[in-house]
Structure 1
Amino acid sequence: MKVAHVIIGLNVGGAELMLKRLIESHSQQSDIEHVVISLTDQGVLGGQLNEQGVELHCLGMFSIAKGPAAFFKLRKLLRRLRPDVVHTWMYHADLLGGLAASSVGLRNLVWCIRSTDIRKGGSKVTLLIRKLCAWLSGRLPRVIVCAADASRQVHETVGYAPNKMQVIPNGFDLDKLLSTHTSITSIRDDLGISHDCKLVVSVGRYNPVKDHKTFIKAAGKVAAQRNGVKFMLVGRDLEHSNPQLMALIDATGQADAFYLLGERNDVSACLQASDVFCLHSVTEGFPNVLGEAMAVGLPCVTTDVGDAAYLLDKPEWVVPAASPDRLAEKLSAMLSLPVAERAALGDAAATRIREHFTMDVISRRYYDLYTSLINSK
């Protein structure tokens, strides 16, 4: 069977990484072929997929004004490819991909929803597109896959067809997460962070929905109260050249406690070099990076967003979103635990991922979904 994936772009993000992992998980199966169509360009991940032999098409839609041209390119491409299943990822691709697939008679359409409450950080255009998708959800897709149950609930509330929806969470490739080409000790050594220091890591691009403001305020409070604790921020635009970010850090009076690494391709090594992971978003669907931190055995503190609390399954380490004082309290409490207790929390987190959220399990669920669509009347 041939599955054509339509996605807005292929830079590093939760949906993009999940798509890449899904394709890689089927690489040894001769009965399934994946084609990827980016509405914009190949981004960071497109080249990697191309190197693995995945057919890739880029449509150059860098603005809404280019939407009609991209639609007709997509329509022409889908007519030529004639995939057995069209799988679209996120709102823009759901709308354009759904309309294009339907217009050329491709009925096995799967929409994929990754977000929860886009009113926090979502543009007016995105909100409008979601509204259009809700209106079309009863007609275009045969199945709507949500990455989180919280996401399913929100989208049913805004008008998505409930009879079309099912939840398939993200899956994690443990072999790749636990193996790293970067020396874990070298990360601390390169940054000049003592191995006696406790290191809290945050991973995620600089964006309002990630709420770095709350994390930095909380971290500043903890750093002012405790000696020997450092905070490492990993992700796009988390660099000293970002004036907004630097203003937040300088305002804490604890700038020496922060290390800005920017976007990296060794996130797993950064996680494994740390003592505690913190997710501080104001909205999430199914947070990939929390699962990755759990998979490598890190004890975690998270805000109560999307399916984060469900994934972590440790309510005592969950705090309300946008609450720097509460987050500071929990981080301080975590750092105060004996090493053995933090290690036990990390071991429990890794076991939860291993038993419920491996890529093998999730890969099979998508394969079965595609097969059921093709085989059904």
Structure 2
Amino acid sequence: MTAPIHITHVIIGLDVGGAERFLLRLIEAHGGNPQYAHRVISLTSKGALGPRLEAQGIAVTALGMTSLHDTPRTYMRLKRALQAHRPDVLQCWMYYADLLGGLAGRRLGIKPILWGIRNSHFESGGTRLKRAVRRSCAIASRHLPWRIVCVADSALEVHARAGYDRARMEVIHNGYDPDAFTYSDSGRRALRRELGIPPDALVIGSVGRYSAAKDHRSFVQAADAAMRQRRGLYFMLVGRDLTAGNQALARQIAATLHPERFLLLGQRSDVPECLSAMDVFCLHSRTEGFPNALGEAMCVGRPCITTDVGDARLLLGQEGRAVPPGDVPALTQAMIHMADLDAAQLQAMGARARQRITGHYTLVHAVDRFESLYQTAMTLSY
């Protein structure tokens, strides 16, 4: 029996986010597979997903970084951790981890270093420090990583134009597990009953943490405008900080025609049931790479509205509505369009969305691509 390929992942943290959840799914896909052995190093804490990984026997190390001032100490801890359990492949996820992991790995002579790019808008947002790190990554991309894995075609193009080494870049789209994200009629009925949603109401919902990039303000404004033109609309928001305790969000909702029709569920572990309780899913972000939430909603068979960000339009294809980011009137009209469809039309649109995932964007396909990289990495000469 051949020895397994040892892969160490370096990531900024392990709270619930797109990159973190895909890392979890990638590792879980190798559960019981003796060909691959994974370890995870979080630059900060074990977050919400660390204990879940540990429960599956995955070693998770948290380096305790809390601020920029911790960077030198965190780097030294990272180098020691890699030295103690030298991997065959070092896989880094997102800018900070790419830079620190790449530097530490090269210092230790590790050649197969994978970088990960999850953002399709290099130039948008972020602190001065984050912009400086991204510029440093662009310069270092010619020396530190062996390959740079982009989550979306748009992510590759944006970063290549910003100075990343195009020759080292390739795209591996997110993959989704259709068996893990399926429609649940019992889950739908139970949650709608718990929330007091009328049987004939149309629920438009979204899943994603509260942040400027997710642009909940535009969603609330469009929802308000749609409620003024169509009756029986409700709006469900699922994700971290989407609660009544979020004062900024609460003020925006309070200014709408029917604030009682906004259902703030916060972060949930039963996302498939939440998606099942929705009639229409809406991705309203200003920036994305290859959006997990949209793919998961499609898996569940939800008709979808999305902003045209990252590779969202590519993922959705013709099975929904795409609108420009930040365009409240266009988002409003998309909501109204969905509200005007009958139940059979919505069901057929959702079924086609699920078929698009099962035909093109399964987790198996994404895992196969990463396995091919891991296998190729083992042929590199030092």
Paired with 1:315 and 1:356, the residues of 2 have a C-alpha distance of 13
The answer as to 2:241 corresponding to 1:246 is: no
Conserved? CA contact 2:137–2:164, under 8 Å: yes
- Residue 9 of structure 1 aligns with an amino acid whose one-letter code is G
Conserved? CA contact 2:15–2:46, under 8 Å: yes
Aligned to 1:15: 19
Aligned to 2:221: 217
Aligned to 2:293: 289
**For the structure 1 residues 292 and 78, does the alpha-carbon distance in structure 2 shift closer, same or farther, using more than 3 Å as the test?**
same
TM, length-normalised to structure 2 = 0.96
Q: Give unmatched runs, 5+ long, in structure 2.
A: none
Paired with 1:330 and 1:163, the residues of 2 have a C-alpha distance of 39
SS at 2:126 equivalent: coil
**For the structure 1 residues 179 and 76, does the alpha-carbon distance in structure 2 shift closer, same or farther, using more than 3 Å as the test?**
farther
The answer as to 2:233 corresponding to 1:229 is: yes
SS at 2:50 equivalent: helix
Matches within 5 A, 1:122-161: 122-161=126-165
Paired with 1:117 and 1:376, the residues of 2 have a C-alpha distance of 32
Shift of 1:342: 1.2
Paired with 1:209 and 1:179, the residues of 2 have a C-alpha distance of 28
Shift of 1:273: 1.1
Shift of 1:328: 0.3
- Residue 266 of structure 2 aligns with an amino acid whose one-letter code is G
Shift of 1:179: 7.4
Paired with 1:119 and 1:271, the residues of 2 have a C-alpha distance of 32
**For the structure 1 residues 315 and 150, does the alpha-carbon distance in structure 2 shift closer, same or farther, using more than 3 Å as the test?**
farther
Matches within 5 A, 1:164-175: 164-175=168-179
The answer as to 2:335 corresponding to 1:331 is: yes
SS at 2:148 equivalent: strand
Aligned to 2:99: 95
Paired with 1:181 and 1:303, the residues of 2 have a C-alpha distance of 28
**For the structure 1 residues 292 and 337, does the alpha-carbon distance in structure 2 shift closer, same or farther, using more than 3 Å as the test?**
same
- Residue 12 of structure 1 aligns with an amino acid whose one-letter code is V
SS at 2:96 equivalent: helix
**For the structure 1 residues 182 and 5, does the alpha-carbon distance in structure 2 shift closer, same or farther, using more than 3 Å as the test?**
farther
The answer as to 2:12 corresponding to 1:34 is: no
Paired with 1:202 and 1:356, the residues of 2 have a C-alpha distance of 23
- Residues 55-113 of structure 1: CA deviation (Å, up to 9, x unaligned): 11000001111011010000011111110000000000000000000001111100010
Runs of 4+ off more than 4 Å: 179-182
User: How many residues in Structure 1 have an aligned counterpart in Structure 2?
Assistant: 377
SS at 1:121 equivalent: coil
Paired with 1:149 and 1:235, the residues of 2 have a C-alpha distance of 26
Please tell me the root mean square deviation across aligned C-alpha atoms, in Å: 1.4
Shift of 1:144: 0.1
Paired with 2:125 and 2:346, the residues of 1 have a C-alpha distance of 33
Q: Point out the structure with the larger helix share.
A: 1
Paired with 2:329 and 2:127, the residues of 1 have a C-alpha distance of 29
Identical positions, percent: 45
Shift of 1:256: 1.6
- Residue 286 of structure 1 aligns with an amino acid whose one-letter code is F
**For the structure 1 residues 212 and 70, does the alpha-carbon distance in structure 2 shift closer, same or farther, using more than 3 Å as the test?**
same
SS at 2:285 equivalent: coil
The answer as to 2:284 corresponding to 1:263 is: no
Conserved? CA contact 2:10–2:42, under 8 Å: yes
Conserved? CA contact 1:234–1:261, under 8 Å: yes
Conserved? CA contact 1:120–1:282, under 8 Å: no
- Residue 174 of structure 2 aligns with an amino acid whose one-letter code is N
Q: Give unmatched runs, 5+ long, in structure 1.
A: none
Conserved? CA contact 2:183–2:301, under 8 Å: no
Conserved? CA contact 1:120–1:209, under 8 Å: no
TM, length-normalised to structure 1 = 0.98
**For the structure 1 residues 124 and 167, does the alpha-carbon distance in structure 2 shift closer, same or farther, using more than 3 Å as the test?**
same
- Residues 275-326 of structure 1: CA deviation (Å, up to 9, x unaligned): 0000000000000000000011000000000000000002861100001111
**For the structure 1 residues 179 and 301, does the alpha-carbon distance in structure 2 shift closer, same or farther, using more than 3 Å as the test?**
closer
Conserved? CA contact 1:182–1:266, under 8 Å: no
- Residues 198-241 of structure 1: CA deviation (Å, up to 9, x unaligned): 11111111100000010000001111211111000001111111
**For the structure 1 residues 182 and 316, does the alpha-carbon distance in structure 2 shift closer, same or farther, using more than 3 Å as the test?**
closer
